[in-house]
Amino acid sequence: MAADIGRLLSHQVASLESRNAFNKSRGDNTMTTLPKKVFPFGVCFLGLLVYLYLATRVPVSQAQVTTFLTPPYFGTKTVSTIFDHQYPTLYDRTPPDVPGGSMHRDGNTYPAPGPCAGYSGHAGVDYVMVYDYVLAAHSGQVVKAGWMRENDRRYGLGLMVEIQTTVNTGTYTSRYGHLSALTVQNNQPVVQQKVIGISGKTGHVEGVHGLHLHFEIHKRHTNDLFYPVNPYGWGSTNPDPWQNSNLPIGRPASVNLWQNAPAIGFTGGCPQQMYVSGTPLLPSNNPPLAPDLTNPVHRIIDDSDTNRFVQFGPSWQTVNNCGSQGQCYGGTYRWRVRASGDTYNSAYAQWRPRVHDLVVGTYDVYAYIPNQHANTVLAFYRIYHNNKVHWAGIDQSRFNKPGYSRTWAYLGRYDFDDGLNTFQAQQIVIYHDGDVAQEMAADAVALVLADGPPDLNLPIALGSDDAGPYPDYNCNYGESWQEIYLGRCYTGAEVVSGFRFSNVDIPQGAVISRAHIHFTVDGYLEIDPLLLRFYGDEDPNSPTFSPTNRPEDRSLTAAWRRWYIPGTDTWSWEPPPQPPQIRYSPNLASIAQEIVNDAEWQPGGSALTFIVKPQLGFSGTDHRRVMAYERPDAPPGTYAARLLVWFDE
């Protein structure tokens, strides 16, 4: 009976607590309490019920608990701040934190600040990490990926991820705070041990705490509110003050939730039994913390690229001739000192990809940090991508400096469009949020397709494998032009061009996820808008081109892809030492798939041939050009089209 009364009382108090929490969320500080006229009787009766409730309360048995957490990092780290069992209420103040120390899971109170406690009121566990991978400790759904408080980026956990899951003992959320970059987005499902971000020091981070991961577990309680719990459990024989606070409803019990506890190394005189240490997870390199520039689908935008980089605001300075020893990327960088009145709108720099600089897909984004004039403790990067905005926060003093060898700072993983369907220009913006008088640098950014390098990277192998007409008034066909043209001739006649890639080693029926043609731009300031279609030669054994077997003579696939090139996408040949302009076709996977599925397809012996012609209804005399196999100022094939294919057998 006492247990039933306890549950009833718990329900009533929970109702009052939920109502008061709801009022507070609306700005109403009115507190609902018991009527005064029943106060004397109520005190006695409540006292009796509390006694009966505590007398019959059954502790949570570890046998009843599902252990489901794995480490939120690779390898071994050090604990710098513990979970305070009296009380972990630094932010919500219910009940008020007991100052002066932090009560550990063993029931002892350690002085705060101190090497073991960290600080009082802490609702999680801090692991010392310097720009390292942060992993999902369990599978679930991302319920928050962004700033803890959107209008205050120095508040609380700063840039954070929160993941929710339900197991047989309840519903939990895990929080990962002070991140520098994210690799997941809101509402995204994640699997255990997936990299969800990179550790950092955004939010409210002070003094000795520095760069670290704040890890927090919350459990839904009987009143449907979530409260922090210690994932290592409560290890003392005495009652847990946190579990027994705000009785009779109390707080969720802290029990061991680790399926495999994080591997921990201890420093600073803290006892070895501070937290149990588990088996370290083997390191991974996905996403890479430095850009894989061997992946042909990448784009580097340097500060020297006047078409894609611009700086705004006063006092920017330029450093030249600095790239020989890795001091900077590309030989130059820009920097400025933060002034007291700076805002993100008054002084910033911007890297902006052009239309078709990128294929549609997910990219890992990086910023190069020079070894001088980059000592700000917090440079914010805003990543505008596919009509969304995300942030990264980087301590530039921890890159390319003595003791910190990394030159590229990882900014996160984001989905990008080809630039055609974005209402807001895709760009990366940097502004200073460190201390006044600190220096912030803007050098290069890199965007690398997260699918990894292609499974096949095929060149044009013969001069006759790229062919088409020269768009003069005669519109003469040829296989040895220095350029391949796209669009229409001066007479208005169609330019039908072809690109053949031979000896394609793809198993018949393999699933092709991506196929792009990598073009090198030629010509001078070509700005004519074009509307094109890509088809395939349906014959898997298509021969090379000839005067009697031209691109327009081929039987075409049913699959096709549209390619629109707007007038704002300026094409021009960039003479050395400038890198040439690169453009990527749309994803031609459906065309390649149709050919590879053909019964006559022979892995390693068949060819993928693509035909490009104007879209039906597109008229005019406009055209653009890409480099052909026979380009005379480089070895044959150096600048010719290449086919990039990603597939699964």
CA atoms within 13 A on the CB side of 39: 4
Within-domain flag for 291: no
Separation between Cα atoms, residue 585 and residue 566, nearest integer Å: 14
Whether residue 304 sits in one domain with residue 379: yes
Region 40-51: mean pLDDT is: 46
Query: Measured between alpha carbons, how far is residue 244 from residues 53, 67, 222, 249, 462 in Å?
Result: 12, 23, 14, 8, 79
Q: In 33-96, which residue ranges form alpha helices assigned H by DSSP? A: 39-56
Whether residue 385 sits in one domain with residue 262: no
- pLDDT for the residue 455: 96
- pLDDT for the residue 37: 42
Within-domain flag for 267: yes
Answer yes or no: is pLDDT of 524 > 60: yes
Show which of 399, 426, 449 is a domain's final residue: 449
Whether residue 189 sits in one domain with residue 261: yes
137-170 pLDDT per residue, tens: 999 999 999 899 988 878 899 999 999 999 998 9
Whether residue 416 sits in one domain with residue 461: no
Nearest 5°: CA angle at 73, between 67 and 74?
110
Answer yes or no: is pLDDT of 300 > 90: yes
**What's the pLDDT band for 269 if we cut at 50, 70, 90?**
low
Within-domain flag for 280: no
Cα Rg of the chain, angstroms: 31
Give the CATH number of the domain where residue 343 resides.
Answer: 2.60.120.260
Within-domain flag for 279: no
Q: For strand 76-81 and strand 263-265, is the pairing parallel, antiparallel, or unpaired?
A: parallel
Whether residue 530 sits in one domain with residue 387: no
Separation between Cα atoms, residue 571 and residue 380, nearest integer Å: 32
Sign of the Cα torsion 406, 142, 139, 514 reads negative
Region 89-117: mean pLDDT is: 83
Region 434-457: mean pLDDT is: 93
Whether residue 393 sits in one domain with residue 334: yes
Answer yes or no: is pLDDT of 20 > 50: no
Neighbours of 519 (CB within 10 A): 25
Whether residue 268 sits in one domain with residue 307: no
**What's the pLDDT band for 207 if we cut at 50, 70, 90?**
low
Q: In terms of residue numbers, what domain contains 12?
A: 2-58
Show which of 404, 430, 449 is a domain's final residue: 449
Angle, helices 2-25/39-56, rounded to nearest 10 degrees:
120
Show which of 408, 424, 449 is a domain's final residue: 449
Within-domain flag for 84: yes
Whether residue 402 sits in one domain with residue 379: yes
DSSP letters spanning 274-310: GS---PPPPP--SS-SS--TTSSSEEEE-TT-TTTEE
Q: For strand 133-135 and strand 101-103, is the pairing parallel, antiparallel, or unpaired?
A: unpaired
231-252 pLDDT per residue, tens: 999 999 999 999 999 888 999 9
Q: Residue 586 corresponds to which amino acid?
A: P
Structure tokens at 104: 């550990």
DSSP letters spanning 410-476: EEEEEEE--SSS-SS--EEEEEE-S-TT-EEEE--EEEEETT-S-SEEEE--SGGGEEEE--SSS--
Order of strands across the sheet that contains 497-501: 477-478, 466-469, 497-501, 608-614, 530-536, 561-565
Whether residue 543 sits in one domain with residue 421: no
Greater confidence (176 vs 491) lies with 176
Within-domain flag for 399: yes
Whether residue 464 sits in one domain with residue 442: no
- pLDDT for the residue 279: 92
Give the CATH number of the domain where residue 244 resides.
Answer: 2.70.70.10
449-503 pLDDT per residue, tens: 999 899 999 999 999 999 999 998 889 999 999 999 999 998 899 999 999 999 9
Within-domain flag for 306: yes
User: Whole-number mean pLDDT of the chain?
Assistant: 86
Neighbours of 149 (CB within 10 A): 14
- Is the distance from CB of 521 to CB of 581 less than 8 angstroms? yes
Count of the separate structural domains present in the chain? 4
Answer yes or no: is pLDDT of 328 > 80: yes
Answer yes or no: is pLDDT of 50 > 70: no
CA neighbor of 376 nearest in space, from 201, 629, 239 = 201
Answer yes or no: is pLDDT of 517 > 80: yes
Separation between Cα atoms, residue 560 and residue 557, nearest integer Å: 7
